[in-house]
Amino acid sequence: MATSGSPSLRVVMEKVLFLLLICSKLHFVCRAADRNDRPIIGVLSQKLASNTSSYIAASYVKFLESAGARVVPVLILFPGGGVNITSSGYERAAEIFYQLALEANKNGDFFPVWGTCLGFEELTFLTSRKMQLSHTNTSAAALPLNFTEDAKRSRMFSGFPSELMAALASEPLTVNAHQFSLATTTFYSDGSLKNFYRVLSTNTDGNTEFVSTFEAYDYPVYGTQWHPEKNAFEWTRPFIPHSPSAIKTTFYMAEFFVSEARKSFHRFKSQEEEDKALIYNYNPVYTGATSAFEQIYIF
Ligand SMILES: *[C@@H]1O[C@H](CO)[C@@H](O)[C@H](O)[C@H]1NC(C)=O
Ligand SMILES: *[C@@H]1O[C@H](CO)[C@@H](O)[C@H](O)[C@H]1NC(C)=O
Ligand SMILES: *[C@@H]1O[C@H](CO)[C@@H](O)[C@H](O)[C@H]1NC(C)=O
Ligand SMILES: *[C@@H]1O[C@H](CO)[C@@H](O)[C@H](O)[C@H]1NC(C)=O
């Protein structure tokens, strides 16, 4: 699954603090002395549409760096099949990380996992072992979040200023760029999903109400069907908002993920190994004229 030049996923997992996608009972308390101020976050690559190379949009990297983390690309080899959440190199890599993360957290070894958009959809599959997504008309829209009562007591939003919460609830600040969604009715009729995740927001395409943000009850596992990284860092689509509240949304989401990553102490064995793995070894290329992303890293 990993490319020949890169370490195996289990080895990567030992070192990476947090996975973007990416505890017998978790204690989310963090004493300052227990904080890791040098968090490194692994980001899974995805297959390029044009050929078998994989890529990571630079906006994910900037997003994490903006809040004080560094990024290690987790390179996945795609022997065809594209990105399919039930059967692909992406799925198998995500599956291995997800299982290792649950295992680590159960043993009191804090290891956060994050899924954005496809990563969110992947999490719904990994948790329920079923492909349960519905088609929605959400491929190009910015929407306000319809917060649940639980959002107020969530870990994810507890550090957000109240003005920003009000703006998120009333202005179209969250970018949706997906054709599949987890219908709210599906979520609540599936025991494995509803017992694992707390729904923090929903949205609708006019026909289907779907889950747009969740966090796991007992694990540091988080997902957004929307794209928090795009507001500040992507400019290629007219529906991406760039208002002050939109940019704050990007920053406060990043701040939350990275603050979770600082609770993890996974590390590289040596400085040399760390240096070799960091995204700084690669250069992003400008793709704004031909794709949805301003810059991507190609592997
Ligand atoms: C795939 O396409 C990208 C962008 O066009 C290019 O940079 C990369 O070298 C290609 N990879 C292969 C294996 O041809
Ligand atoms: C994903 O792969 C599975 C198994 O090969 C297949 O049944 C399914 O149709 C694929 N999904 C998509 C969206 O292509
Ligand atoms: C999909 O949503 C857009 C607005 O985001 C709307 O203009 C369009 O008519 C909708 N398409 C369908 C088939 O409902
Ligand atoms: C928000 O969600 C609630 C609960 O599902 C629903 O009753 C309400 O109509 C939704 N509001 C909007 C604006 O979609």
Q: Indicate whether residue 51 lines ligand 1 (CB < 6 A).
A: yes
Ligand 3 touching residue 141 (CB < 6 A) = yes
Mutate to test the pocket of ligand 2, among 83, 86, 132 (most ligand atoms within 8 A of CB): 86
Atom of ligand 3 nearest to the CA of 205: 2
Within-domain flag for 283: yes
For the Cβ of 148 lying below 6 angstroms from any atom of ligand 2, the answer is: no
Residue 161 has pLDDT above 70, yes or no: yes
Distances (CA, A) of 91 to 69, 85, 184: 25, 5, 23
Domain assignment of residue 267, given as a range: 9-298
Ligand 4 center to residue 159 CA distance, Å?
A: 24
140 within some domain:
yes
pLDDT band at residue 1 under the 50/70/90 scheme:
very low
Ligand 2 within 6 A of CB of 8: no
Q: What is the pLDDT of residue 78?
A: 61
The residue whose CA has the least distance to atom 12 of ligand 4 is 146
In a domain, 2, yes or no: no
Burial 267-288 (b: 16+ CB within 10 A, else e): bbeeeeebeebebeeeebeebe
pLDDT-above-70 percentage for the chain? 87
Residue 47's pLDDT is 87
pLDDT at 24 over 50: no
Rounded (5°) CA angle 188-193-95? 155
Shortest-distance atom of ligand 1 to CA 52: 13
In the residue annotation, 227 being an active-site residue is answered as yes
Mutating to test ligand 4, I would choose from 143, 170, 202 the residue with most ligand atoms within 8 A of its C-beta, which is 202
Q: Is position 55 within any domain?
A: yes
Question: 3-state DSSP: the chain helix, strand, coil percent, rounded to 5?
Answer: 35, 25, 40
Q: Above 70 in pLDDT, residue 13?
A: no
**Which among 136, 137, 204 is the best mutation to test ligand 3's pocket, defined by most ligand atoms within 8 Å of the CB?**
137
Give a yes or no: residue 3 inside a domain.
no
CATH number for 83: 3.40.50.880
Q: pLDDT value at position 16?
A: 55
Name the catalytic one among 23, 27, 30, 117: 117
Is residue 135 among the annotated active site residues? no
Provide, rounded to the nearest whole percent, the portion of the chain with pLDDT above 90: 80
* Length of the chain counted residue by residue: 299
Place of tokens 């990105």: 83
- pTM reported for the whole predicted model: 0.89
Helix (H) or strand (E) holding 296: strand 295-298
Does the residue 1 lie in any domain?
Answer: no
Closest residue by CA, ligand 1 atom 8 = 53
Strand order in the sheet with 18-19: 70-74, 40-44, 18-19, 113-116, 221-224, 209-216, 197-204, 146-147
Q: 58-111, pLDDT tens digit by residue?
A: 999 999 999 999 999 998 766 544 578 888 888 989 999 999 999 999 999 999
Q: Is residue 4 part of a domain?
A: no
Please report the pLDDT score of residue 83 as a whole number.
76
Number of folded domains that form the chain: 1
Nearest ligand atom owner, CA of 122:
2
Q: Is the pLDDT of residue 286 over 50?
A: yes
Query: CA distances (Å), 105 to each of 100, 207, 220, 296, in order?
Result: 9, 38, 8, 32
Highest mean pLDDT among 3-17, 32-46, 119-133: 119-133
Residue 137 Cβ contacting ligand 3 at under 6 Å: yes
Per-residue pLDDT tens digits for 228-260: 999 999 999 999 999 999 999 999 999 999 999
Where does the pLDDT of residue 162 fall: very low under 50, low under 70, confident under 90, or very high at 90 and above?
very high
For 103-135, the pLDDT digits (tens) are 999 999 999 999 999 999 999 999 999 999 999
Q: How far is the CA of 146 from the centre of ligand 4 (A)?
A: 6
Q: Mean pLDDT over residues 268-297, rounded?
A: 97
Structure confidence at residue 51 as a pLDDT band (50, 70, 90) = confident
Cα separations in angstroms, 41 against 28, 61, 170, 186, 251:
19, 9, 32, 31, 16
**Within a domain: 121:** yes
Nearest alpha carbon, ligand 2 atom 13: 84
